[in-house]
Structure 1
Amino acid sequence: MTITPDDLDAAVASVVSGLHEASSRDWSSAPGTGELNAWRTAEHLGDCLISYAGLLIARPSTPRFVCFESVADKAATPSEMLEFITVGAGLLGATLRTAAPDVRAYHPSGHADIEGFAGMGCVEVLVHGEDMARGLDVTLDPPRDVCSRVLARMFPDVDAADVDPWTALLWATDRTGLPGRPSRAGWQWRGTPLDA
Structure 2
Amino acid sequence: MTVTPGDLDAAITSVVGELRQASGRDWSAASGTGDLNAWRTAEHLGDCLISYAGLLIARPSTPRFVCFESVADQAATPSEMLEFVTVAGGILGATLRTVAPDVRAYHPSGRADLEGFAGMGCVEVLVHGEDMARGLQVTLDPPRDVCSRVLARMFPDVDVTGVDPWTALLWATDRTELRGRPSRAGWQWRGTPLDDPPFSEA
Tell me, yes or no, whether TM beats 0.5. yes
SS at match of 2:129: helix
- Mapped to 2, the partners of 1:158 and 1:82 lie a distance apart of 31
Q: 1:38: Cα distance to partner?
A: 0.1
The TM-score with structure 1 as length reference comes to: 1.00
SS at match of 1:178: coil
Q: 1:8: Cα distance to partner?
A: 0.1
1:126 counterpart residue number:
126
Q: List aligned pairs for 1:131-170, cutoff 5 A.
A: 131-170=131-170
Q: 1:43: Cα distance to partner?
A: 0.1
- Mapped to 2, the partners of 1:121 and 1:32 lie a distance apart of 18
Give a deviation string over 1:120-142, Cα, whole Å, max 9, x none. 00000000000000000000000
- Mapped to 1, the partners of 2:164 and 2:99 lie a distance apart of 33
Structure 1 residue runs without a partner (length 5+): none
Q: 1:47: Cα distance to partner?
A: 0.2
Q: 1:161: Cα distance to partner?
A: 1.6
Q: How many residues align?
A: 196
Q: List aligned pairs for 1:1-196, cutoff 5 A.
A: 1-196=1-196
Runs of 4 or more, structure 1, over 3 Å off, are none
- Mapped to 2, the partners of 1:99 and 1:172 lie a distance apart of 29
Identity %: 86
- Mapped to 2, the partners of 1:54 and 1:115 lie a distance apart of 16
- Mapped to 2, the partners of 1:31 and 1:38 lie a distance apart of 5
- Mapped to 1, the partners of 2:18 and 2:110 lie a distance apart of 32
AA matched with 1:93: G
AA matched with 1:60: P
Give a deviation string over 1:5-60, Cα, whole Å, max 9, x none. 00000000000001000000000000000000000000000000000000000000
- Mapped to 1, the partners of 2:74 and 2:161 lie a distance apart of 43
